[in-house]
Amino acid sequence: MAYNGKVYIQTTRHLYCFGKKGNNPGLAPDPEPEKWPAAGTAKSLQIIPSEVTLRPGHTASFHARSIDANGFTVEQLPDTKALKWASYIPPTARVKSTMKASFDAEGHLVAGNETAPSAGAFEATLGPLKGYIRGRVLPYLPLHQDFEWMTLSEANAADGAGFRISTPSVDRRAIQIRGPRERRK
């Protein structure tokens, strides 16, 4: 690499510089730093973090700032207690689901104690400004899925063929679970 009339070479152990000591008289002066554009009027809220994953009973806290149409920060909101939170389902959402959580008086998101997974969004409002977060509540491991209660009965719409799957009565004591390396005898 060459800079200021010198050649720099990096090896695995050293950095070498070839050239005369001092500054090169032909070196252009440093350019003036560009000024940061001034923020316009506030158009929306930016909630941080914008996505959360919680376990049942856990909480999450947020902070917010107002931003202009270009995403520049107008001001930091010192008190998130002033935000009004409501469960939100976007009008274009294909899956209409809500997160099993709510906001307390302090402005913290508190996940419900239910062990069923859930996901959804919340809308924060402060006057005319709005901001959004998304979140999930995931249960602790191990998960237990049991489909023993159901009977599947369905007809194929394409050719009208029907099939039926039902669970036979099984003696659970006769089932043996083998590890991945165990072989059947």
- Check pLDDT > 80 for residue 40: yes
Work out the average pLDDT over 110-137: 93
Distance CA 181, CA 185 (A): 13
Q: What is the pLDDT of residue 112?
A: 92
Quick one: what percent of the chain has pLDDT higher than 90? 49
With a CB cutoff of 8 Å and minimum separation 6, the contacts of 87 are 98, 99, 120, 121, 122, 123
Q: What is the pLDDT of residue 13?
A: 93
Q: What is the mean pLDDT of the chain?
A: 83
Q: Which residue has the higher pLDDT, 168 or 80?
A: 80
41-89 pLDDT tens trace: 999 999 999 999 999 999 999 999 999 999 999 999 988 889 999 999 9
**Higher pLDDT, residue 36 or 68:** 68
**DSSP secondary structure string, 40-87?**
-S--EEEEESSEEEE-TT-EE--EEEEE-TTS-EEEEES-GGG-EEEE
Q: Above 60 in pLDDT, residue 136?
A: yes
Residue 180 has pLDDT above 70, yes or no: no
Confidence of residue 95 (pLDDT cuts 50, 70, 90): confident
Residue 105: pLDDT above 60?
Answer: yes
Which DSSP symbol is given to 13? S
What local confidence, expressed as pLDDT, does residue 155 receive?
Answer: 60
